[in-house]
Amino acid sequence: MELLRFFTAGNVDDGKSTLIGRLLFDSKSISTDIIETLTKQSKTTGVDADIDLALLTDGLRAEREQGITIDVAYKYFSTDKRKFIIADTPGHTQYTRNMFTGASNADLAIILVDARNGITDQTKRHSIISSILGIPHVLVCVNKMDLVDYKESVFKQIESDYLEFSKPLNLSKISFIPASALAGDNVVTPSENMAWFKGKSLLEFLEDVEIFEDTEIKDARFQVQYVIRPQTQELHDYRGYAGSVLSGSFKKGDQVKIFPSEAVTTIEKIEKNTIEVDEAFANEPIIIHLTDDIDVSRGSTIVPVNDLPVAEKELEATICWMDNSSYQSGQKLLIQQNSFRTKAAIKEIDGKIDIHSFENKESDGSINLNDFCKIRIKTAETISYDSYRKNRKTGSFILINENTNSTVAAGVIG
């Protein structure tokens, strides 16, 4: 069964958590005991309803008390057609880093817009982040239509305003749905109050929207997570390289190149679940055996010799700074791409991205919490990669403070 990963974003009071709660509740994806618990808890929230649907995702005590979402809340549910992973991301500007994290692996962005307020700075900010991350689909959900008397003219104006604003963002596909999360209009079933809207309900859209599968990426990429050497009497000469196929496929007998050493060898055999197979595909955990005894360690990347990635010690990237402490010039960093890690330094800050206007601003040399910057990174070892828009698995990374071992930034290449 297909899996759709999507995230919701919007202003603090646009109803993201309520929308997800309504989606789960009306699709009967919540067990009876959870409903009973939430019904009891809802009596303390002051909501004019039998159940406060937002409590399904606002799991932290502090969030419930403040009525906002601080952390990224993940929920899982399924229908007869699909499985879903939902990331409910924070609406406050100061939690941009959380939103960036929740959105990084999504197939779809649901951007909520309050029908009363229209397009806001937060709408623009979340759309720009979706563009930077190359999210395949953006769905603009115009919520709280019940508070504007379900007027088609209000929906059409927001649709027009958003399309005009988003022209320079190069978003792949944009769709629009009018809804009322609180009343349930157009969330799971079509709304009788908006008969003028001929499109699908939110759930129907989620079940039918096209998913760009990892299996569609043809470039074969494998990164070693663990070198297996039992050195037992029975397996004295055993040497296998365990990991998951990041993209593409590998076959027994393929001639491959190893990075960063750039050694060339051949795949002798492939194991999957202790059984030898002729071919392995994207997302499958496998063990690769090579014909030559060469230098391969955790983080080494294996690729076909006729399908090479970019391999350099310098790269251009866009990062979101996640550390409360600002970047210090000359700061010692580590770059980690999946299981590959090496020392790195920010060579140059090419500019900052205005997260509200998408304009590139000249750098003043500083990088602060939640800043988006275009930078050049120099690495101690050769790093092999593809551009993020071509392959998310090899085109993304994190930066780590070498002294504290804390993650200070996340980035996309190209």
Q: By three-state DSSP, how is residue 32 classified?
A: helix
How is residue 121 written in tokens?
Answer: 């700075």
Q: Let me know: does 320 contact 409? Beta carbons within 8 Å.
A: yes
Tell the residue number behind the tokens 């399924």, with chain if given: 78
List per-residue pLDDT tens for the chain, 414 residues long. 789 999 888 887 777 778 888 888 777 776 555 555 555 555 555 554 555 555 555 443 343 444 433 455 678 888 889 999 888 766 445 556 666 766 777 899 999 999 999 999 889 988 988 998 888 899 999 999 999 999 999 999 999 999 999 999 988 899 999 999 988 899 999 999 999 999 999 999 999 998 876 557 889 999 999 999 886 777 777 899 999 999 999 999 999 999 999 999 999 999 999 899 999 999 999 999 999 989 899 999 999 999 999 999 999 999 999 888 999 998 999 999 999 999 999 999 999 998 878 888 998 889 998 899 999 999 999 999 999 989 999 999 999 999 999 989 999 998
Q: Count of alpha carbons within 13 Å of 397, Cβ hemisphere only?
A: 29
Distance (Å, rounded) from C-alpha 24 to C-alpha 18?
10
Domains of the chain, first to last: 3-212 (3.40.50.300), 216-304 (2.40.30.10), 310-413 (2.40.30.10)
CA angle 202, 177, 70 (to 5 degrees): 70
Query: Which DSSP symbol is given to 71?
Result: S
**Is residue 378 within a helix (H) or strand (E), and if so which, with residue range?**
strand 372-385
- List beta partners, residue 280: 250
For 414, the token pair is 């190209």
Among 78, 73, 99, 61, residue whose Cα is nearest residue 18: 73
Structure tokens that stand for 40 in this block: 């009891």
The strand pair at 340-353 and 285-290 is best described as: unpaired
pLDDT of amino acid 2: 87
Half-sphere exposure of 363 (CA within 13 A, CB side): 16
Distance in angstroms between the alpha carbons of the first and the last residue of the chain: 32
Which pLDDT belongs to residue 242? Answer: 97
Distance, CA of 408 to CA of 402 (rounded, Å):
10
Query: What torsion do the CA atoms of 177, 178, 181, 186 make, to the nearest 10 degrees?
Result: -70
**pLDDT at residue 356, as a whole number:** 79
Measured CA to CA, the distance from residue 17 to residue 22 in angstroms comes to 9
Distance CA(243)–CA(46), nearest Å, equals 50
8 Å CB contact between 134 and 105: no
- Its pTM stands at 0.81
Q: How far apart (Å, rounded) are the C-alpha atoms in residues 202 and 19?
A: 10
Q: Which residue has the tokens 């074969």?
A: 220
CB 334 within 8 A of CB 344: yes
Handedness of CA 206, 212, 214, 216 (dihedral sign): positive
**pLDDT at residue 163 in the model:** 96
Distance (Å, rounded) from C-alpha 150 to C-alpha 29? 27
* Rounded (10°) CA dihedral 381, 219, 302, 255: -130
Q: How far is CA 20 from each of CA 228, 236, 394, rounded to the nearest angstrom?
A: 43, 54, 31
Instruction: Quote the radius of gyration of the chain (alpha carbons, Å).
Output: 24
Residue type, 137: H
Cα angle for residues 413, 345, 304 (degrees, 5° grid): 45
- Are 211 and 164 in contact by the 8 Å Cβ rule? The answer is no
Instruction: Tell me the pairing of strands 108-114 and 3-9.
Output: parallel
Q: What is the pLDDT of residue 62?
A: 41
